[in-house]
Amino acid sequence: MFPTVIDLTYALFAGLGAWLVLRTLVNSVTTLRRRNSRERLPVAIAAKTGSTGLLQDIIATSGSSHFKPVVVFDEGAEGESTRAGLPVVDSLDLLRSLVRKRRIKELWLLGHPAQPPSIDRYVREFRHDFVNIRLIPDLHDFALASPRVVSVHGQPAINLVASPLTPGAMWPKRVFDWVFAALVLLFIAPMLLVIAVAVRLSSPGPVFFRQMRKGVDGNEFAIYKFRTMRQHVEHAGQVTQARRGDPRITRVGAFLRKTSLDELPQFINVLKGQMSVVGPRPHAVEHDELYKDLVEDYMYRYRIKPGITGWAQVNGFRGETDRIEKMEARVVCDLYYIQHWSFWLDIKIIGITLVKGFISKTAY
User: How far is residue 186's CA from residue 190's CA, in Å, rounded to a whole number?
Assistant: 9
Q: By the 8 A CB rule, do 147 and 243 touch?
A: no
Of 181 and 356, more confident: 181
Give pLDDT tens digits for 302-331. 988 999 999 998 988 876 666 888 889 999
Give pLDDT tens digits for 252-303. 888 888 888 899 999 999 999 999 999 999 988 888 888 988 998 898 899 8
pLDDT value at residue 1: 44
Residue 38 has pLDDT above 70, yes or no: no
Residue 168 has pLDDT above 90, yes or no: no
Going by pLDDT thresholds of 50, 70 and 90, the confidence category of residue 2 is very low
Helix ranges (H only) for 77-188 are: 92-101, 119-125, 167-187
Class (C level, CATH) for 39-141: alpha beta
Q: By the 8 A CB rule, do 280 and 216 touch?
A: no
pLDDT value at residue 269: 96
The SS3 of residue 107 is strand
Give pLDDT tens digits for 235-255. 555 556 666 667 788 888 888
Phi-psi region of 205 (alpha: psi -120 to 50; beta: other; left: phi over 0): left
Kindly report which listed range (44-48, 76-80, 292-296) carries the lowest average pLDDT score. Answer: 76-80
Residue 332 has pLDDT above 60, yes or no: yes
Torsion angles phi and psi, residue 5, rounded to 5: -60, -40
CA neighbor of 170 nearest in space, from 314, 362, 341: 341
Residue 307 host element (H or E): strand 307-309
Span 158-177, average pLDDT: 78
CA neighbor of 301 nearest in space, from 161, 192, 202, 190: 161
Residues of the chain with CATH 3.40.50.720: 39-141
Q: Residue 128: how many CA atoms within 13 Å on its side-chain side?
A: 3
Residue 93 has pLDDT above 70, yes or no: yes
User: How far is residue 122's CA from residue 118's CA, in Å, rounded to a whole number?
Assistant: 7
User: How far is residue 70's CA from residue 174's CA, in Å, rounded to a whole number?
Assistant: 47
Confidence (pTM)? 0.68
pLDDT value at residue 363: 52
**CA distances for 63 relative to 48, 193, 344, angstroms:** 22, 59, 28
Q: Which residues pair with 88 in a beta bridge?
A: 72
Give pLDDT tens digits for 207-224. 998 989 999 888 999 999
The rounded percent of the chain whose pLDDT value lies above 70 is: 81
Of 231 and 347, more confident: 347
Residue type for position 63: G
For 186, counting Cβ atoms within 10 Å of its Cβ (0-12 exposed, 13-18 middle, 19+ buried), the class is exposed
In degrees, to the nearest 5, what angle opens at C-alpha 149 toward C-alphas 159 and 157? 55
CB pairs under 8 A, 24+ apart, for 156-162? 158/113, 160/113, 161/300, 162/303
Of 10 and 222, more confident: 222
pLDDT value at residue 235: 57
Residue 171 has pLDDT above 70, yes or no: yes
